[in-house]
């Protein structure tokens, strides 16, 4: 099933690069509380690594971002701490890690976030990756559960400490795509 957002042309999805950091920060400033705003330098490093797969929504002819999904290829139970770098996995990539998904209020309720997420999940599937993980913040657990994510207990104390950087209500969540059958 292909999902389409309720918006139409002249919108398009494209890969993000380090040049998009100001746009990411502008969207982030509107969508998150001050405690979740991450530095320009951190985002520049994140969007410069080879294993990142971040995407953004732009309007043709406009350089500004209106929504984005910052993500990278990772391994199970590895949490990027708040203001942390996207370190390359030591093992073979096992999952898609969705670090941050934000949509400007003018596009709220139009399926944009879900479309960005489904776009990244399709990329993961094309790579043979069936799992995705994230950290739910700001009371978003219900939203992620509707997309198939479930709370997942971290076992490594270091990763538990990384999760704690997002505050006491942060929840590590995992989604496993259903297996395709013939």
Q: Could you tell me the fold of the domain covering 11-176?
A: Aminopeptidase (3.40.630)
3-state helix, strand, coil in the chain (%, to 5): 30, 25, 45
Q: For the whole model, what pTM was predicted?
A: 0.89
Beta strands in 3-46 (DSSP E): 11-15
Residue with tokens 């990763």: 159
Q: What are phi and psi of 150, to 5 degrees?
A: -130, 150
- Tens digits of residue pLDDT in 113-153: 999 999 999 999 999 999 999 999 989 999 999 999 999 99
pLDDT computed for residue 37 by the predictor? 84
Answer with the residue of higher pLDDT: 90 or 47: 47
Q: What are phi and psi of 56, to 5 degrees?
A: -140, 160
C-alpha dihedral sign at 138, 34, 86, 125 = positive
For residue 92, pLDDT over 60 is answered with yes
User: How does strand 65-74 pair with strand 131-136?
Assistant: unpaired
pLDDT computed for residue 13 by the predictor? 92
pLDDT computed for residue 179 by the predictor? 60
pLDDT computed for residue 3 by the predictor? 46
Residue with tokens 């073979």: 92
pLDDT computed for residue 87 by the predictor? 83
C-alpha dihedral sign at 32, 149, 41, 165 = positive
Binned at pLDDT 50, 70 and 90, residue 6 comes out as low
- Tens digits of residue pLDDT in 15-61: 998 889 999 999 998 887 777 788 889 989 999 888 999 999 998 77
Q: Where are the domains of the chain?
A: 11-176
Mean pLDDT on 94-117: 93
């Amino acid at each position: 099933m292909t999902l389409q957002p309720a918006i139409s042309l002249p919108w398009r999805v494209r890969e993000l690069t380090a040049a998009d950091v100001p746009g990411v920060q502008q969207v982030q400033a509107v969508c998150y509380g001050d405690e979740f705003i991450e530095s320009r330098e951190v985002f520049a490093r994140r969007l410069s690594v080879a294993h990142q797969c971040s995407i953004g929504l732009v309007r043709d002819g406009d350089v500004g971002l209106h929504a984005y999904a910052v993500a990278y290829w990772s391994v199970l139970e590895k949490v990027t701490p708040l203001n942390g770098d996207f370190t390359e996995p030591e093992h073979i990539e096992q999952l898609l890690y969705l670090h941050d998904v934000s949509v400007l209020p003018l596009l709220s309720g139009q399926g944009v976030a879900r479309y960005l997420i489904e776009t990244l999940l399709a990329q993961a599937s094309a790579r043979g990756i069936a799992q995705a993980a994230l950290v739910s913040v700001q009371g978003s657990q219900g939203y992620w559960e509707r997309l198939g994510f479930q709370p997942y207990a971290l076992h490594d104390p270091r990763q538990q400490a990384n999760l704690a950087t997002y505050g006491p209500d942060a929840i590590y969540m995992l989604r496993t795509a259903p297996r395709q059958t013939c």
